[in-house]
Every structure is written in C-alpha cells, then in structure tokens.
C-alpha cells in the first residue's frame, strides 16, 4: 500500500470520527467489542448465574423485606423536562346484575427515567456510540431501540451490598457535589466488614435521598456521588448494577468541568454495568443492613432505555 493511499484512508477515518462523534477525550482505549462478544446486549447481566441466586438466598435469614422504590407521585423531583401524570378516568360500568364497575389509571411520562429508575444500556452513550460499540443511528428508532432494549436484561436476583458512605464520613448527608473516592468506598466497606464479589449489586448510601419531596430544588440542582476512579474501581470488581439514593449515582457536576456524566459512560457504555437511581436506601442504612438479597426484574418495555420499578432487598 502506498503512503498516499494510507494518508487518504487516515483522513477518511478521521473525518468519519469527527462527524460521528467518537473522538472523545480519554476514550482512546478500545472498549468494544464487549467481553461477552460483539453481539451481546446484556452486559454485566451475564454475570447473573444460578450460583448468584443461591448467594442471594443465603443472605435471607430474617425474612425482612425492604422496598427500595420510591413512590411515583405528583410533586416528586423530575430531571430536566420530564413529566409524570396519573389520572383516574370515570369508572367503567360492566353489564350484569352484579354491578361490577372498575377504574383504570391513565399514566403518561418519561416512565423509564423518572423516580426510582434503572438505566439500561441504550440510555446513554459516548457520542454516537453505546454499549458494545453500537452506533445510535443503527439502533435508535422513534418506536423504541432495536438493540439494547431493557427487555434484554432479565431478572436480577443476586447478592447486594450497601456501602454507607455518609455513615463512614460521619454525616447524615454528603455535601454536594462531593465526588466519592475509592478510599471512601474501601474505608466504608472495611467499617462494614463487607466485601464485594463478582456479580454483586452495589448500592451507595449518600443521604442525598433525604431531600426527596422535602427540598426538591436542592435535590435536583446537583448531587454528591461516585467519581470516575470510584466507578473504575467498582467496574473492576465486576459488579452488575451500581445504585444510589441520588438522581444520577455519580457526582453532578463532575470535578472536571469538562466532563458531564462520565461515570454513566464508563459503567453503561464501556462496562455494560447498569445504574439504579433514586433508590430508597435509608432503611437499610438505618438498620445497618450491608448484605442482602437484591431483587429487581426490569419491566419489559420493548425497546426502552430503562425501567421504573420497586426493587427490594431481603435479609
């Protein structure tokens, strides 16, 4: 091949990159195809095995169930221009002497991205590229995602670990925007005498959730959460989901003013690890429950970017 030909190809490649938005600071490393193959759509959900289910089973000793899902209701904090509406239509009268009548609910909103929400792999990307190098223009359609839809995840039944960073730092609520460090995570785990295993779900208690429906303006303005190194450390632990009691799991804004949501990119796009946001972790924290069975089955909205729901922890 001549040098001219190579130069042409190089320029073409550069132009493709520039146009498609993959020239991203710090994204030079090769992060796809995924470790589960180029066709994989489930990411870290592949770490879920019968053994992890039995792991979760072994956490259940007291038979106590914690609901981690917040109530969806008017007045809850909402990100950006998202909305939530529930109305009850007039009762429908059924025929028959037994006078059955029923009512439904009409709900509208960005249902997969409000309140307690589980981010799927099609939710957020790096420029045009999403998990496993899937290009947005190849799978995003107005009628739902053709790939990476939330229906691919499956039920998550595994061991869960709560890292109470607020407790470790000796405050009821971390300041915002504090970026939780690796040392914070390891220190808190040491205090809790708990370790993370591959295939676990890790929930981080920041105390930020105490503002929910109490001071929505502060809650929404920004948020403490994990920083990029903490995210990388969690990814290295081969977890399945990282959740928290804030709206974005990670610190907003990021300490680096040039970056927005880099932990989302790191976990979702590069590592196929899911995010679970706006979790009600306060009761686990109050009771000092640091190990438990975490159970959540995303609603199978075909082609959706995420799922609402009411995940549970059992001990």
Q: In the bound complex, what is the minimum distance in angstroms from residue 208's beta carbon to a copy of itself?
A: 19
Rounded distance, CA 220 to CA 226, Å?
16
User: Least distance (Å) from a copy of itself to the CB of residue 189?
Assistant: 26
Listed ranges 142-150, 164-172, 230-238, 239-247: which one lies at the site for a copy of itself (CB under 8 A): 142-150
Q: Report the residue number, 40 or 250, with the smaller CB distance to a copy of itself.
A: 250
Examine residue 306 and tell whether it contacts a copy of itself (CB under 8 A): yes
Q: How far apart are CA 312 and CA 315, in angstroms?
A: 10
x/- mask, a copy of itself, residues 151-190, rule CB under 8 A, reads: x--xx-x---------------------------------
Name the nearest CA neighbour of 130 among 224, 33, 64. Answer: 33
Kindly state whether residue 305 participates in binding a copy of itself, applying the rule CB under 8 A.
yes
Task: Say whether residue 30 binds a copy of itself (CB under 8 A).
Answer: no
Is 57 or 286 the residue whose CB approaches a copy of itself more closely? 57
- 89 in contact with a copy of itself (CB under 8 A): yes
Least separation in angstroms between CB 36 and a copy of itself:
19
- Minimum separation from the CB atom of position 301 to a copy of itself (A): 5
**Lateral strand order in the sheet of 65-67:** 65-67, 312-314, 291-296, 156-164, 201-205, 241-244, 274-277, 117-119, 306-308
> In the range 263-282, which residues lie near a copy of itself by CB under 8 A?
264-265
Cβ atoms of 156 and 295 closer than 8 Å: yes
112/274 Cα distance (integer angstroms):
14
Q: Is residue 224 helix, strand or coil? A: coil
Strands 140-141, 144-145: parallel, antiparallel or unpaired by DSSP? antiparallel
Report, in Å, the least distance between residue 256 CB and a copy of itself: 9
For a copy of itself, the binding residues in 206-235 under the rule CB under 8 A are none
User: Which position has the token pair 């009600």?
Assistant: 280
User: Does residue 141 bind a copy of itself (CB under 8 A)?
Assistant: yes
Residue nearer to a copy of itself on the CB measure, 38 or 62: 62
| Residue 287 is a binding residue for a copy of itself (CB under 8 A) | no
Residue 101 in tokens: 């009548």
Q: Which span (32-40, 135-143, 172-180, 238-246) binds a copy of itself, by CB under 8 A? A: 135-143
Give min distance, CB of 136 to a copy of itself, in A.
7
Number of residues that make up the chain: 315
What one-character DSSP code corresponds to residue 282?
H
Query: By CB under 8 A, is residue 304 in contact with a copy of itself?
Result: yes
Residue from 35, 64, 214, 286 that binds a copy of itself (CB under 8 A)? 64
Reference 227, options 262, 277, 267; nearest CA is 262
Reference 27, options 128, 122, 123, 118; nearest CA is 128
Question: Beta-carbon neighbour count of residue 287 at 10 Å?
Answer: 13
Q: Angle 182-192/228-236 helices, nearest 10 degrees?
A: 50
153's tokens: 């995840």
What residues numbered 39-58 form the site for a copy of itself, per CB under 8 A?
Answer: 49-54, 57
Residues within window 237-256 making contact with a copy of itself, judged by CB under 8 A: 254
Give the angle 167-168-174 at the CA atoms, nearest 5°: 65
Among 102, 170, 193, 217, contact with a copy of itself (rule: CB under 8 A) = 102
């Amino acid at each position: 091949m001549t040098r001219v030909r190579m130069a042409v190809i190089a320029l073409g490649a550069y132009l493709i990159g520039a146009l498609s938005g993959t020239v991203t600071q710090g994204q030079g490393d090769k992060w796809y195809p995924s470790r589960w193959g180029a066709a994989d759509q489930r990411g870290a959900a592949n770490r879920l095995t019968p053994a992890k289910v039995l792991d979760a089973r072994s956490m259940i000793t007291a038979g106590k169930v914690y609901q981690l899902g917040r109530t969806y209701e008017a007045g809850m904090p909402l990100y950006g221009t998202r909305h939530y509406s529930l109305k009850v239509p007039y009762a429908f009268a059924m025929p028959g002497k037994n006078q059955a009548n029923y009512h439904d609910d009409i709900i509208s909103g960005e249902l997969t991205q409000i309140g307690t929400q589980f981010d799927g792999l099609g939710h957020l990307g790096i420029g045009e590229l999403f998990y496993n190098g899937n290009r947005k223009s190849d799978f995003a359609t107005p009628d739902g995602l053709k790939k990476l839809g939330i229906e691919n995840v499956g039920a998550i039944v595994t061991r869960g670990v709560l890292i109470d960073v607020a407790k470790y730092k000796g405050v009821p609520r971390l300041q915002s925007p504090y970026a939780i460090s690796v040392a914070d995570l390891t220190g808190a785990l040491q205090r809790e005498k708990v370790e993370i295993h591959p295939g676990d779900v890790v929930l981080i208690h920041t105390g930020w959730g105490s503002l929910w429906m109490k001071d929505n303006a502060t809650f929404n303005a920004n948020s403490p959460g994990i920083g990029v190194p903490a995210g990388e450390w969690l990814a290295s632990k081969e977890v399945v989901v990282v959740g928290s009691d804030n709206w974005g799991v990670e610190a907003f804004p990021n300490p680096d003013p040039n970056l927005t949501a880099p932990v989302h990119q790191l976990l979702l796009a590069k590592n196929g690890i899911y995010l679970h946001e706006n979790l009600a972790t306060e009761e686990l924290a109050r009771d000092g429950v640091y190990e438990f069975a975490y159970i959540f089955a995303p609603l199978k909205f075909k082609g959706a970017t995420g799922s609402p729901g009411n995940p549970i922890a059992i001990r």
